Amino acid sequence: MLNPFPELLSYSLMGPFILRVVLGIIIAETGYLKFRSERARWIMSFEALHLKPANILVSILGLIEIIGAIGLILGLYTQIAALVFVIVYGFELYAEYKEEQVLKRDLVFYILMFSIALSLLLTGAGAYAYDIPL
């Protein structure tokens, strides 16, 4: 079947760019919340999952999210950041599937975040990135 808008295919690098920036903004916010209003809930969640010391692990996860989000937004080491977030959100997806009350967001959020990170891992950074393949 013919593509109804073939002229738009010349903008194919914009798709990963949009996904990369949106994912980076969302992850930066969730990382920031791990240091602020959601900190106590995340510590309880980690303790419920028998991950100790929960306080330190939540801080490490928040820091990883903020640094990785900055990398995603800038397009710096995009595939490495995407791989980390595939692992992180894969774990959170599994945790939410097993124990619905453990994490704050619902299953659909984690499926979406996992899928976007996996897409960026497979496609790369897209346009306006420092790590554009040569």
Q: Find the angle CA(123)-CA(106)-CA(82) to the nearest 5 degrees.
A: 20
pLDDT value at position 69? 98
* pTM given for the model: 0.90
Token couple for 70: 């900055």
**Chain Cα centroid distance, residue 10:** 27
Q: pLDDT tens, 79-130? A: 999 999 999 999 988 877 777 666 667 889 999 999 999 999 999 999 999 8
Q: pLDDT tens, 106-116? A: 889 999 999 99
**Chain Cα centroid distance, residue 23:** 6
